[in-house]
Structure 1
Amino acid sequence: MTAMIERPTAPATAPAVAQPTGETTRQQATRYTWAVVRIALGWTFLWAFLDKTFGLGRGTETEAAWINGGHPTEGFLLHGATGPFTDFYHNIAGAAWADWLFMIGLAGIGVALLLGIGLRVAAATGALLYVLMWTVVLPPENNPFMDEHLINAAVLVGLALVGAGHTLGLGRTWARLPLVQRWGWLK
């Protein structure tokens, strides 16, 4: 009697299933979620600019509008400032340079986030603005140190890191501009 050894001619594992080359549903949902968050934050910045400029009655009355001689920084810095920086903020409340910087910041950050362009710059300046606003209200009313200003600052950084301007925005087109390709920090 001879022993027969049976040798398989094909691998014993199941054949590989080809994976789709596109993104998964989860990846697509993540992209769109970040895009919606970007647009929502952009709208909060742009709305603050519009309301403070024209006194649309939500946070700023018509009489206090910037176009009517009001000072966009005055109310928050005079009446909202608490804690260790109170004197500093009271001293700059309503100063023309502070009003201009604040309003340019609100408009620029808002437009950049809504369009999905310049997210690195918008995230850095927006995060700085949020942290400065956080220092106005120290300590926060409902927590020893954490409030929505710090959370929104972190979210802005996240938006830039994930390239949230590419979905529902002009981020890809912006990134192809020669100026942006030359200076990557403009992305």
Structure 2
Amino acid sequence: MKIDKLCQVVFQMHPLPGKLRDKQVQEALRAHVREIIAESHYRERQLLLSTGQPAEHAYFIAEGFARGFYYDEQTGRDITVFLWNEEAIALAANSFFLRQPSDIHMEVMPGSTLLSLSHGQVSTLFELFPATEALARALSLQYNAFHKKRMKDLLTRSAWERYQDLLRTHPRVEQHVSQEVIASYLGITPWSLSRLKKQYK
């Protein structure tokens, strides 16, 4: 079941509080989440969040793909900063946890199924299961580590190396998003990506 996938991902997060290693606590948490979580199916691309809005939901990608991006008004282009594949937890972390306006758009791709919890539901979850607050910190640390690695990769690795790394971490990315989206994530133009693929073919 999709909820089991989500719980498996959550209970594998590090550092996992000792209380959340208890099987009875895990089952109680699983049962509570099963009662409140929402499931949504998307046949078309759809915005989940726009910049300037507070992030009201955290999403689990049960099937499909989603992305987070900025819009560059000077160039008129999207700049993709996040690509979330199956079994990823997708959210605008600072906006969701700190109740700030989001600085990114979030978009889900066609054929995706998402599980979601609202900010209010997550807050109640923290009250009922205090140990789960540590999961929010762990998730925030993961996002910070991702940002640091992404910045380092953009500065120290070639575009081809970044592309190969993307294919390793997101094997089905080219089935879900356009070459324009992939190029923007890599920090290059679509023409440069096409040239690289021909060069290394």
TM bucket (normalised to shorter chain) is: under 0.3
Give the TM-score, by structure 1 length. Answer: 0.25
Higher strand proportion, which one? 2
Instruction: Answer 1 or 2: higher relative contact order, Cα 8 Å, separation at least 6.
Output: 2
Q: TM-score with structure 2 length normalisation?
A: 0.23
Radius of gyration: which is bigger?
A: 1
Structure with the higher helix share, 1 or 2: 1
